[in-house]
Amino acid sequence: MEKVATLEDIPQGKTLCVEIGGKEVLLCHTSEGVFAIDNMCSHAAARLCEGKLKGSKILCPLHGAAFDVRDGSALTRPAVRPVASYKVSLSGNDILLAIPQ
């Protein structure tokens, strides 16, 4: 696990894109906690950090496709494939992430 941000960096309802292992990962702070998914949309590779978090959904800036940030599943067309999701741990205010392979 590697520290990638602190809770102060991401107010609830907001997202933060971090780079880890050469990969862009999107941290999403929802009312249910912090979740991490791939930053690239599985449909047309737009960057989800430029979209918007609504509840536990992230909406892609390009087509508006929705993903569940809790598990990366695709909720609406045109996205049909999930985005990868990563395990997040908290240590105090530190947000820790397992390095994606």
Partner 1 sequence: MSTSHDDSAPGAARAPGFAVKETLEKDSRGAPPPLLEENFEFLGDEDIACSRYYSHEFAKKEMELMWGRCWQWACREEHLPDVGDNYVYNIGPYSVILVRSSEDKIEAFINSCSHRGTRILGGEGSGYSAQFTCPFHGWAWSLDGSLKELPARWDFPHVNEQTHSLQSVKCETWGGFVFINIDPDAKPLADSLDVLPEHFKHFPLERRRIRLHVQKVLPANWKAAQEAFMEAYHNFETHDSPSGADAQYDIFGKYVSRFIHHIGSYSVDSLEDYPGDKWRRPPLSEDDLLNILSVFGLDAKGIPEGETARSVAAEELRSKLGESLGIDLADTSDTIMLDSIEYHLFPHMFFFPGITVPMAYRFRPNGDDVDSSLFDLMILEPLAEGESHPEPPEPIRLEIEQSYTEVEALSWLGSVYDEDTGNLQLQQQGFKTSRKPGITLGNYQEARIRRMHMTLDEFLAK
Where do contacts with partner 1 occur on this chain (CB under 8 A)? Answer: 13, 44, 50-52, 54-55, 59-64, 66, 76-78
The CB-of-28 to partner 1 minimum distance in angstroms stands at 14
The residue among 46 and 96 lying less far from partner 1, judged by its C-beta, is 46
The CB-of-66 to partner 1 minimum distance in angstroms stands at 7
The residue among 73 and 76 lying less far from partner 1, judged by its C-beta, is 76
User: DSSP assignment of 31-91, as one string?
Assistant: TTEEEEEESB-TTT--BGGGSEEETTEEE-TTT--EEETTT--B-STT--SPPPEE-EEEE
